[in-house]
Structure 1
Amino acid sequence: MNEIFEEAQKISSVFADKTRFLIYQFILTQSEVTYTVKTIAQKFHIHPNVARLHLSKLEEIGLLRSDWDHQTSPGRPGRVYSLRQEALTLSFPPRMYPLLSELLLETLQQLGPNEQAVLLRIGFLHGQRLAQSARMTVPALPATPWELPITALGSLLTIDGIPPNLITSQDSSATLRLRNCPFHEMLERFGVSLCALHHAILSGLITTLWPHIELTLVHCLPDGASECTLRLQLLNTDAAS
């Protein structure tokens, strides 16, 4: 028990610094894979030594990892920092929700072939509930999701705490790139089911807000991809006009 509270105190002390929290939030929501001390120092207008301290503290509690960069410049290699996918969880008093999730998923798998359909239906309904809440935030929606400002679209599609990166490819389609998996810790055992569940949640959200938009899963982490990729496709141009 003491170890739990000591770890919680360590994590909370790291985030007690507002700049450090903003640095982590910035890294979490950007599309770049790695960051240098110089990049963070310039972005937040702080001395490189201060930036290095903030990054080191985030690495100490397991939110970032660092490696030596031997390619970007000649001479002595510098450190580059990147996100760790493993999540940190604080709960007072301690709770075991990850274990509960794991046991429920195991139970669903034991129920037979219909478990996948049940899981996806529940995910889709959850997405619809998210869409109903989103309507209160953005009551006047444009014809397609990619016509929204990127910040507004990110807020609408954020179901896991991390907004997606949107790349518009054509007038009738767009691509969503999701760096953070809300179910990452369980992907090794339940990857196929959880990717399908995540897709179902987003489908319920998207198709409720835009019935003429279809969401297709292109790549996902269990397939070896570095991020999940989904395509938004306009099905009927007349319906959007």
Structure 2
Amino acid sequence: MGVIVGAVTTEPAAPAIKAVAALEEDLRRGMYTFIRGAVRPVTRDEAAASVGISRKLAAFHLDKLVDAGLLRSRYEAVGGIRKVGRTPKVYEPADTDFAVTIPPRRHGVLADILLDAVVTETEGETARETALRVAAERGESLGAAERASLRPGRLGAERGLTVTETVLARQGFEPRRETPTCVRLRNCPFHPLASKAPDLVCGINQAFLGGIVAGLEVPGVDAVLIDPAPGGCCVELRADQPGG
């Protein structure tokens, strides 16, 4: 199931859900569609007229759309001419794009990896090798950024596995601890693309997750390819046995 407003983004789920929920109301959705189609700032009076409601009621709904991040507003003289009285408030689409997918999908991450692979492919590299390299680099960069937000201190295998779980949960993998040393990922953020080219996409996924572990500087934790359950991820995380 997926609901998309604009293009796919890496925005956290909560703002995206709030934006989509704001469009459930017919009047708001009508004004939002009108404003997107206007290709210029729209006044409250114009927005109200587009759906046949009062200016006051339109102001309420328009401000809800601003609060949800779908519109932005400012005061501007209509037609660039300043008249007597208060400058009217105008509305236009915000630059932010939102996407909600249930369960979580990260097709944009895969697209970015493949695009960077095309741009950075070097002589002597196959397309697949380049994609795996870029995926590992992207994961390592993400892991390093996450590590920078942690408290200083060495991460043992057990704590490192827990930290990795937290990071992957934010990426939509839905991790679950199967045993003290094994984390299964119940969701594949790259589904259904993984089913179209499993060798390539699963390889990219393993490289990406291995890069996250490397960026987190987690010792004794590996991203291992497995045969996934339906809808599940083709990679699981395994940590060294305590004392191993």
For the superposition of Structure 1 and Structure 2, which TM-score range results when normalised by the shorter chain?
0.3 to 0.5
- Greater CA radius of gyration, 1 or 2? 2
Greater RCO, CA 8 A, separation 6+? 2
